């Protein structure tokens, strides 16, 4: 099965963020991406890892 790749506009739409935010995060290495000529591509699996690593962890032992 082939891996799906997203361009930065698609990533921005998925994450409901501005294109420039995604672009800056890619340039800083926060989101791993591949550059093909002047275009960036983000692997589906890498995007999922980024989303999973961004989840908020519960604070302390307090129960809500």
With cut-offs at 50, 70 and 90, classify the pLDDT of residue 2.
Answer: confident
Neighbours of 33 (CB within 10 A): 24
Take residue 31 and report the two structure tokens written for it: 């989101």
Take residue 27 and report the two structure tokens written for it: 């340039």
* Residues of the chain above pLDDT 90, percent: 75
Residue 12 has pLDDT above 80, yes or no: yes
With the C-alpha atoms ordered 10, 28, 47, 40, is the resulting torsion angle positive or negative? positive
Q: What is the mean pLDDT of residues 41-58?
A: 91
What mean pLDDT, rounded, does the chain reach? 91
Q: Which helix (H) or strand (E) holds 36?
A: strand 34-36
CB 46 within 8 A of CB 39: no
């Amino acid at each position: 099965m082939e891996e799906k790749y997203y361009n930065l506009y698609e990533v921005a739409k998925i994450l409901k963020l501005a294109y420039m935010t995604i672009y800056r995060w890619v340039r800083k290495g926060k989101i791993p991406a591949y550059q093909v000529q002047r275009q960036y591509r983000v692997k589906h699996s890498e995007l999922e890892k980024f989303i999973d690593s961004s989840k908020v962890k519960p604070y302390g032992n307090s129960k809500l």
